[in-house]
Structure 1
Amino acid sequence: MQQLWEQGGAWLKPGYTPPARSSPHKAAAGQDHPSSCGPRGTEPPGTDNQDLQPTLGPCISNANGDVYLCTFNSLKSFDDPEPIFSAYRFCVLESRWGGSRRREGTGTARTLRTSVSVEGRGRESSALGSGRHGTSASCIHRAPGALDHVVLGNEEWNPWEGDEKNELVASQQRYEANLQMIKNARSHLEQTSLRVQIWGKAAIGLYLWEHIFGGHLQPPDVTAQWREGSQKAGKTYFSFITGPSVVPGYFSVEAENVVLVLNGREKAKIAYATQWLHYAQTLIQTHKIQHVVVVLLGNEQCNNEWIQPYLKRHGGFVNLLFVTYDYALVNEEDIFQWPLGVATYRNFPVVEPSWSMLHDPRSYLCNFLGTVYKNSSRETLMEILKQDGLDKLCWIAAREQWQPQETNESFKNYQDALLQSDLTLCPVGINTECYRIYEACSYGSLPVIEDVMTPGDCGNSSMYHSAPLQLLKTMGAPFIFIKSWKELPAVLEKEKKMSLQEKIQRRKKLIEWYRNFKAWMRQKFISTLEKSFLPSDKG
């Protein structure tokens, strides 16, 4: 980040030559009193006024009126809309005018200013300014503590001369005390700033970054070997890396806090995931990183015992675990449920609602495009749809075998079906939760969910008692939940009687809920990390 220096209230870029300073005896009327930390600075000549935009907060003085604390609310750069740092500035006023200390024919005021930026990107500087009758004329950069011979304008001033000696000693003491205050403030602010690097080694990492965080990746090409992005949220600066070139030991570890996104669905994926965990453990042992968080695409039957020994509660090093599906060990302390999200491994996009998506009538009452497994409830669903010609009212495309990769044509058909259907049917598979639920929400097509538990170890946890889909239910998902597909004909009959206006309002409600759900998950993720890794403020 480029260093910024203050000169007479103006923010200057490196290499900028300030205009010649007028004599301190010709200070313009109406200049700020040195007891003020000053207004927002003006841009140097020839610079874009959008480049640097500091915003100054209020000043606070002590009982003597000679110590001032200003808070810069934000300083934005042209390249990054997020505030890139805040700063404290202490202004110490040393006034010497009037009375017996007034020099004949002129009055002088000395202003000592010290500024510091946080997050380790700035450095301390002090400046001595000269003005008339308490008006600061300018500031010059000097090393901390230096109060030796200085030339200000055309006036030569020796701080150890005569009757000013005692006052300057007191000024030096005040300067040193305030410098210590600045160091303490910087130390506190550095403690309240968290840097987190996310290693995306499973497709749900893209759902976290692009869909929940709303982040971007460069390059945009989804087939790129290396992709990265960054953003600041709350007190935390996040960076994200993903791609085949992200290999243990062959990339820069840029934060002491790491979020590792892993796939734990099957044995081969687990073997790969453990390699990353061992690498993270080595970094912990060599003090390269301090904390590890795992976001885990869990097993669809919640068989996640393999991760337990790595958790800190069991003697491991993983501080926090966010895991998909209704994992019974979710406790909201160090184990949290995480949404499955959309199928980013099939490049399902971030969908921005359009006017037509919300308002246009849709051609189909419902849709189901998916695999029909033998002896499953999906076979029952197909049979019911064929009764009374209901399949003619819905977009149905069943297949007998699961296809992990979509063709361009099949993917477009799927998106069109979501966009053109009022309802999306979501029968259970290996687990009740499926990508289709979140993808339907993206297009405003209301999910109709088969609300039954599937075989395995998933179920209620100590925190939730509404499995399956306890996370979505807890967040008030406005879905249609049915226990049997035999209820579907009544649902579709009711759907036929709904007006377009009623459907429009329902779409808006669904899309708004999904937007809020993602925002809530983002905030929960950030606040959990900050609460766990930032030192608590004892006041």
Structure 2
Amino acid sequence: MIRSPGQVLRKVLLFVCFIQVVVTVYLAFCIYNSAFSTLKGIKSLPKLEDTQRYIQPQKESHQKVVLDFDIGKHEADIVLAEQEMRPHEGQEAVVQLGDGEGSGKQVRLRRLPVVELWSKAAIGSYLWHHILEGPESLDDNIQGATVGELQMTAFVLRYRSGPGITPETVPEDVRSLVLVVNGRTDEKVKEARLWLDHLQAQNAPPTTILVMLGNECHIKVRESWVSNESPNAMDEYVQSLLDSDLTLCPAGMNTETYRVYEALGTGSTPVVEEVMTKGHCAASPWRLLKRHDPPIIWVKSWDNLGKVLAKERRYSKQYKALRRLRVFQWYEWFKLRMRDSFVSIVTTSLLQPG
């Protein structure tokens, strides 16, 4: 029996459609299984451990308390102000109910204590925007300053940043404070000392956590550095991260670079040069990320990049799409852990009796 060309073409098309349906169902099952297993792994992660170390002050004496808290960019020294820890109890407000059921009754509302976060270093902006994901807007009262506020479970965190934030413009009725300053250069050290002197000179100095970006590594000033990129250049950079399966992160003047976190935030897999730069950096860079098993490709030398790219070419588009999803999910989980660690330290160090 001789089939017509139309019958043969019809059967071929039906067979192709059947194959497409099978492939689509298989890919959907793979994506669902991968996402479910990733979320299940995240839910089963161990409870956040308290990474604080306390040095108890002696009775009837003012003793400095030092805690170790590594927030990723550098190991920051968090130093409490030289004063006794005191409890910070929330204030209460009495509200008179109006018309309707229960009118005339008085209800006591407990106000959460306020913790101020003053940022005078880029790492403070990273903490507020990237880890805490807090809002920011221009301050109507102080020129060149920005403000933001987040309500946590046990306190309200109030953020202040910008060149307009100086010892003369910040409020003086603060009881709990997180101060982020820069100590990378002699000029920045002098500026940080002014902040500390200002706090100590107050009649009632706030209980303070000091986060200081230390002068730990070799610094080379580049006069051609562009401090303010144009919006087009920024959009182009972000789009390049979104379009890239891999993001190369070579070491600059320091081993660690913000590009790693920018890549993770877009789901791109960072390729990190695991080397030590000159200076007095700690012997184990990237220890915070490595502690949480990040989805990063580590290379000892860029001579090995060819092997990485050769392996990358063998991966399918479906695999790369799933990998991007896993990278993004991991970074969201990582930010939650960093946020919880920060909130835990603020709560136990500033809002509880010593």
The question of a shared fold, defined as TM-score above 0.5 by the shorter chain, is answered with yes
The one of 175, 185, 197 equivalent to 1:278 is 197
Question: Structure 2 CA distance, aligned partners of 1:517 and 1:138?
Answer: 47
Cα drift, residue 404 of structure 1: 3.7
Matched residue, 1:122:
93
Instruction: For 2:162, give the aligned amino acid.
Output: G
Cα drift, residue 455 of structure 1: 2.0
SS at match of 1:478: coil
Matched residue, 1:535:
352
The question of whether the paired residues in 1 share the 8 Å contact of 2:181 and 2:212 is answered with yes
The question of whether the paired residues in 2 share the 8 Å contact of 1:300 and 1:430 is answered with no
Matched residue, 2:85:
none
Instruction: For 1:429, give the aligned amino acid.
Output: G
SS at match of 1:434: coil
Matched residue, 2:163:
244
SS at match of 2:138: coil
Q: Is 1:433–2:256 an aligned residue pair?
A: yes
The question of whether the paired residues in 1 share the 8 Å contact of 2:149 and 2:156 is answered with yes
Question: Structure 1 CA distance, aligned partners of 2:325 and 2:308?
Answer: 20
Runs ≥4 in structure 1, deviation > 4 angstroms?
A: 137-142, 399-402
Cα drift, residue 513 of structure 1: 1.2
Structure 2 length-normalised TM:
0.65
Q: Is 1:268–2:91 an aligned residue pair?
A: no
Question: Structure 2 CA distance, aligned partners of 1:505 and 1:200?
Answer: 37
Same amino acid, percent of matched pairs: 37
Matched residue, 2:208:
292
The one of 225, 235, 249 equivalent to 2:154 is 235
The question of whether the paired residues in 1 share the 8 Å contact of 2:218 and 2:278 is answered with no
Matched residue, 2:316:
499
Question: Structure 2 CA distance, aligned partners of 1:273 and 1:219?
Answer: 23
The structure with more helix, counted as a fraction of residues: 2
Matched residue, 2:9:
none
More relative contact order, 1 or 2 (CA 8 Å, 6+ apart): 2
Question: Structure 2 CA distance, aligned partners of 1:508 and 1:487?
Answer: 26
TM alignment of 1:42-61, pairs within 5 A = none
Once the two structures are superposed, residues 58-104 of structure 1 have per-residue CA deviations (whole angstroms, 9 ceiling, x without a partner) of: xxxxxxxxxxxxxxxxxxxxxxxxxxxxxxxxxxxxxxxxxxxxxxx
Instruction: For 1:473, give the aligned amino acid.
Output: K
The question of whether the paired residues in 2 share the 8 Å contact of 1:201 and 1:261 is answered with yes
Question: Structure 2 CA distance, aligned partners of 1:234 and 1:475?
Answer: 25
Once the two structures are superposed, residues 393-434 of structure 1 have per-residue CA deviations (whole angstroms, 9 ceiling, x without a partner) of: xxxxxx996444434443333223212211111111221100
Question: Structure 1 CA distance, aligned partners of 2:244 and 2:103?
Answer: 67
Matched residue, 2:121:
202
Once the two structures are superposed, residues 362-381 of structure 1 have per-residue CA deviations (whole angstroms, 9 ceiling, x without a partner) of: xxxxxxxxxxx9xxxxxxxx
From the CA coordinates, give the structure whose radius of gyration is larger. Answer: 1
Question: Structure 2 CA distance, aligned partners of 1:427 and 1:533?
Answer: 38
TM alignment of 1:276-355, pairs within 5 A = 276-283=195-202, 286-289=203-206, 291-301=207-217
Structure 1 unaligned segments of length 5 or more: list them.
1-117, 126-136, 143-181, 304-372, 374-398, 461-466
Q: Is 1:214–2:139 an aligned residue pair?
A: no
Structure 2 unaligned segments of length 5 or more: list them.
1-88
The one of 217, 229, 241 equivalent to 1:418 is 241
Instruction: For 1:287, give the aligned amino acid.
Output: A
Once the two structures are superposed, residues 287-325 of structure 1 have per-residue CA deviations (whole angstroms, 9 ceiling, x without a partner) of: 142x1112223335189xxxxxxxxxxxxxxxxxxxxxx
User: Residues 400 and 484 of structure 1: is their aligned pair in 2 closer, same or farther, counting only changes over 3 Å?
Assistant: farther
User: Residues 230 and 431 of structure 1: is their aligned pair in 2 closer, same or farther, counting only changes over 3 Å?
Assistant: same
SS at match of 1:122: strand
Matched residue, 2:81:
none
The question of whether the paired residues in 1 share the 8 Å contact of 2:150 and 2:158 is answered with yes
Question: Structure 2 CA distance, aligned partners of 1:431 and 1:243?
Answer: 25
SS at match of 1:229: strand
The one of 278, 290, 299 equivalent to 1:455 is 278
Matched residue, 2:331:
514
Matched residue, 1:442:
265
Matched residue, 1:368:
none
